[in-house]
Structure 1
């Protein structure tokens, strides 16, 4: 099977004689509605068109059942976060020919005269916020962003403003290369009310060097009402996270998040982490979200309710877990954590009493966990805190 993937933009395509001959001799075509509108006048009368809509399973199944060669029309460069990568992965034995044109970000860069090679490319087309959030927290100065119909310029600007990333300007383009092309320089506030059309993309440029604060004093967090001391102190928090070596892990659970201080610090210092915070107190939901916004920390997934009762089947399983609270059920919480913790994953634990310390050590010895770190720290006039990290060795 041969699959030819042809990149087009928003103008009527001018194909080479060789490509025109291949189109004229083909029967099976695929592409989006916009692509069909552009090329339908040059397709053979008896052509079969398969619409490309997300998810792509229907298209893939149609091609897989076919014995004919296919021509697939795509936007710009089909290998630039495009359908070409999916087709190469799904049809490894097929002959795949890619005929690209400039992608939308390249054309926009040409139009406004910038060195687009200096911009960190982020595709939000059919993707989560994870990579974008990471770039914001890391303080990336220049970004080029591909959008879709859910993650629009307005929704992206809204997320940035919600979490305090006000120090960017947007260089926006829509229907690039076509008759309805529009290019604008916008503040994020202006982007909120933009009457935009698809397809669109934009560049983000920092307007000042502000970056999120790390190593946050506990007094700066919004506290639990009437319980201002119920928070992991900064030296304890930072030491625990450092000893857990989160740079080597990918999925972090914070069990008993309370104010969200540990989740926030983990995400700020390790933006690659997928962070999930569990908390039973209903009033903590607003507190955690306020603190996340206050300290510019998007991307924390919050699961409210009793940790032992909430469903975790749809969550990414952790390779690092911090036990911030267990409601008098330490062993039951640890047993449940152990069900989901990946092999060689770690548990971080803080103990204020010899009783809880010994219970944790006893549980570890009976469940094939090795204590890899154990330190004791005293902050001001507070009781000494034992900081432990245990690694799953089965």
Structure 2
């Protein structure tokens, strides 16, 4: 059995003589509904067609049951975030030939004569915004974006506007290579107001050198009403995050996030991190979101409610946790954090009193956590704060 994947654009293809002979020699074909419309008249009379739709398990079974050669039609380059990668993974022992066409971003670059090799490609086709948010925060100058019917240019532009990323031009293209092709150069504001046909993709190019601010003074955050001092001071915040070595971590929990200052600086300084902010106060949800928008920090997940009662089983386990609040139940909250924290993960705690310091240290000793940092700092006229960093053992006792 052999699988040949032929890439085509959004128009009736002009197959080479070799491709025509191949198509006439095969009985089993597959592709999307649009591909079928384009090639239907070129297939053998006794051919069998399988529509490629999710879940792909139906396609896999059809290929296995046929035990014969297949030709599969795909858009552009099948190895460019395409079905070629999927089939190579699913059928590692089957010979797979790839006959590519230009992919959509290449076709778009040709229209605007863009140096597409200098653009970072980010796929939002069936994917989260994680990679896109990371690129925005890092201030990537050039990006090529692949979309789908959910993550459209309009919804993506709205997300960029929500977090203040207006400093990009959009080079947009839809139905590329076909009779209904349309290409436009747009501002992010204009893109947010428009509707687009699928399939489409676009490039983003920065219009200035601005990147998000990092190390934000506490007075710049929107505070809790009547409690303006309930924000971790910037020098304490930055030192704590530095001691946590977040460049080596993947998932960061901010327990007792309050106004989101720690979550926001963690996100901006380490955009690869998955950041989850826990806060009991309902009013904090809006405050955290508004502060994140103000300081251009997309991608922070906010969970409102009593930390001990919030459902956490579906969350990715953290390897770094900042304990910013515990509602008088330090040991209970730490015990719960311990259940989810990965081995050798870190817990950071800023102690404002000798008694809270002793309680945290006592809990760490009881659970065999190693105190890796204990540093006292003072900011202006405020009382000294002790930054404590504790590391979970390799093989915890419970």
TM-score interval, normalised by the smaller of the two chains: over 0.9
Which residue is 1:316 aligned to?
316
In structure 2, the residue matched to 1:110 is: 110
Determine the structure 2 residue equivalent to 1:119: 119
Structure 1 match to 2:276: 276
Counterparts of 1:36 and 1:156, CA distance in 2: 30
Structure 1 window deviating more from structure 2 (243-252 vs 82-91): it is 82-91
Q: Report the Cα offset of residue 343 of structure 1.
A: 1.5
Aligned counterpart, 2:76: 76
Q: Which runs of 5 or more structure 2 residues have no equivalent in the other structure? A: none
Alignment of 1:95-174 (within 5 A): 95-174=95-174
Determine the C-alpha separation between the residues in 1 that align with 2:97 and 2:38: 21
1:233, distance to aligned residue in structure 2 (A): 0.7
Residue-by-residue CA offset, 1:247-297 (whole Å, 9 max, x unaligned): 000111111110000000000000000111111100000000000000001
Deviates more, 1:284-293 or 1:379-388: 379-388
2 CA distance for matches of 1:140 and 1:19? 40
Moved more, 112-121 or 57-66: 57-66
Higher mean displacement: 290-299 or 187-196: 187-196
Q: Normalised by the size of structure 1, how large is the TM-score?
A: 0.98
- The DSSP-based 3-state class of the residue aligned with 2:237 is helix
2:259, 2:127 → 1: CA distance?
A: 29
Q: Secondary structure at the match of 1:177?
A: coil
Superposed displacement of residue 57, structure 1: 3.1
Alignment match, 2:387: 387
Within 5 A, what are the aligned runs for 1:172-211?
172-211=172-211
Secondary structure of 1:328's aligned partner: coil
Tell me the SS of whatever aligns to 2:202. Answer: strand
Residue 379 of structure 2 is aligned to residue 364 of structure 1? no
Per mean C-alpha deviation after superposition, the further-off stretch among 246-255 and 356-365 is 356-365
- Rounded Cα–Cα distance in structure 1 between residues aligned with 2:355 and 2:59: 60
Q: Distance in 1 between matches of 2:23 and 2:213?
A: 56
The 1-side partners of 2:368 and 2:2 are apart by 53
1:7 aligns with 2:7: yes
Q: Distance in 1 between matches of 2:223 and 2:140?
A: 31
User: How is 1:241-320 mapped onto 2 (pairs within 5 angstroms)?
Assistant: 241-320=241-320
Say if 1:38 and 1:325 are closer, same or farther in 2 by CA, change over 3 A: same
**Corresponding position of 1:355:** 355
Shift in Å, 1:110 = 0.9
Q: Distance in 2 between matches of 1:217 and 1:272?
A: 23
For 2:238, the equivalent position in structure 1 comes to 238
- Which residue of the partner structure matches residue 59 of structure 1? 59
Matched residue SS, 2:266:
helix
1:20 is aligned to: 20
Question: Cα offset for 1:338?
Answer: 1.2
Q: 1:172 Cα deviation (Å)?
A: 0.6
Runs of 4 or more, structure 1, over 3 Å off, are: none
> Which has the larger displacement, 127-136 or 364-373?
364-373
The equivalent of 1:327 in structure 2 is 327
d(CA) in 2 for partners of 1:368, 1:69: 60
Greater shift in the superposed pair: 199-208 or 24-33:
24-33
**Secondary structure of the structure 2 residue equivalent to 1:281:** coil
| SS of equivalent to 1:262 | helix
* Gap change, CA 1:4 and 1:209, over 3 Å in 2: same
Q: What is the alpha-carbon distance in structure 2 between the residues aligned to residue 305 and residue 66 of structure 1?
A: 54
Output the aligned Cα RMSD.
1.2
Count of paired positions: 394
**Bigger Cα displacement from structure 2, 207-216 vs 157-166:** 207-216
In 2, Cα distance between the equivalents of 1:376 and 1:30? 66
CA distance in 2, matches of 1:388, 1:55: 48
Q: Tell me, what secondary structure is at the counterpart of 2:387?
A: strand
TM-score, with normalisation over the residues of structure 2?
Answer: 0.97
Distance change >3 Å, CA 66–CA 279, structure 1 → 2? farther
Deviation for aligned residue 1:48: 2.2
Structure 2 equivalent of residue 212 of structure 1: 212
